Amino acid sequence: MADVRANLVAKLESASSRFDEVLAEMNDPAFASNPKRMVEAAKEHKQLAKIVQPYRKYAKAQEQLAQAKVLCEDPQADAEMREMAEEEVRELTQSSEAMMEEIQGLLLMSDKAGVDSVLVEIRAGTGGEEAALFAADLMNMYTRFAERRGWKVEVLEASPTDLGGFREIVLNVKGEDCFQFLSFEGGGHRVQRVPKTETQGRIHTSAATVAVLPEVEEVEVNIDWEKDVLEHVSRAGGPGGQNVNKVASAIRLEHVPTGLTVNMREEKSQHKNRAKARRVLASRVYDHFRQQQLAAEAATRKNMIGSGDRSQRIRTYNFPQNRCTDHRLKGTGSEGANFNMQQILAGDMDEMIGNLIAAEKAEKLSSL
């Protein structure tokens, strides 16, 4: 435990030094001549401040604690002074531990902190129309969860089905630290229920996949839109009247280095579709390289929660038993931790996600 605390303090001291370096850079008159670096430094400074400021408050409390301990051990001090010092030691010890626990959490989750805009991509998997309906359920669940937290939700792209489901839907969620909470949703989601189209009352199993990508600013991902991206323009398919048939508004972007593609046809305006497609493609390219980095880290950190492996089954929604099981959490059985499914689908996900955050912190702490 002492080694873990020492490693934590070393990381915090490093962050504190970097905070001062960035601040000095921002105060340099020549700094204003580089707008790109100004944006990068301002963001880094803001993220570091969330960790460094509480750490410096903790360090000050540690200094006061050391002074109080010296007074406790001073044979020259009278009994009343020693008693006061002993009370201060107890209070400072308790408050310092609470501060360190908070700082520890901030540091361990710092890779996800400060990301206030994400793309949530939901795709129907095995199960046909029932899987598409389940994708709609997941979309509603995330929308309700976002509303509970005061976040904003925008539909960027949707492929609806005749029965009200979605073959695919992409949401943009904006809100403070939304990535820290929604990042755990990436993976395979399974549903067990009697489909609306089932006449004999049999329970079917269907699936959908969810990907959660940080929406990055242009400075965070280097894409040469002229050289690295192929653009295809076509007429938008589906309903829409004469505009759809006559105006080439649908945009398809292909990022040649990675092979990633984006199709956007939600808007009637080619310009708006291009802008939305670029937002989605930039986030997918960023996530592509982020996943490569996470895969390398996961090779040395077995079963790391939050590794971003979208192929794994992370959760099962059992309608007959009103049970939502998250398979990454330890529960009473071997299958995972269980929660009230109707509450989860209504957007009441705080307890489950809180447990996932705690589990990830513990996993990261053990690897320090």
pLDDT band of 338, cuts 50, 70, 90: very high
| Spatial separation of the C-alpha atoms in residues 288 and 292, rounded to whole Å | 7
Helical segments of the chain, H only: 2-27, 35-72, 79-108, 128-149, 178-182, 242-246, 270-298, 341-345, 350-366
> How many independent structural domains does the chain possess?
1
- 302 falls within a domain: no
pLDDT of residue 138: 97
- 25 falls within a domain: yes
Quote the domain boundaries for residue 41.
Answer: 2-108
Q: What angle do CA 62, 64, 67 make, to 5 degrees?
A: 110
pLDDT of residue 188: 93
- 63 falls within a domain: yes
Cα four-point dihedral sign 267, 270, 276, 281: positive
| Spatial separation of the C-alpha atoms in residues 96 and 62, rounded to whole Å | 7
Short-list 265, 222, 221, CA closest to 243: 265
Q: Is the pLDDT of residue 139 over 60?
A: yes
- 364 falls within a domain: no
Q: Is the pLDDT of residue 303 over 60?
A: no
Q: Is the pLDDT of residue 297 over 80?
A: no
In eight-state DSSP terms, residue 206 is E
**HSE-up of residue 145 (Cα within 13 Å, Cβ side):** 26
Once rounded to an integer, what is the mean pLDDT over residues 314-332?
90
For 261, the 3-state DSSP assignment is strand
Could you tell me which residue, 327 or 218, shows the higher pLDDT?
327
- 104 falls within a domain: yes
pLDDT band of 246, cuts 50, 70, 90: low
For position 52, which CATH number holds?
A: 1.20.58
Q: Is the pLDDT of residue 99 over 80?
A: yes
State both tokens at 246.
Answer: 């006559």
**Terminal CA-CA length for the chain:** 10
Q: Is the pLDDT of residue 242 over 70?
A: no
- 368 falls within a domain: no
pLDDT band of 238, cuts 50, 70, 90: low
For residue range 156-195, what is the model confidence (pLDDT) as tens digits?
Answer: 989 999 999 999 999 999 998 899 899 999 999 999 998 8
- 278 falls within a domain: no
pLDDT band of 298, cuts 50, 70, 90: low
- 184 falls within a domain: no
Once rounded to an integer, what is the mean pLDDT over residues 6-33?
87
The per-residue pLDDT of the chain, averaged, comes to: 84
Could you tell me which residue, 276 or 239, shows the higher pLDDT?
276
State both tokens at 220.
Answer: 């965070």
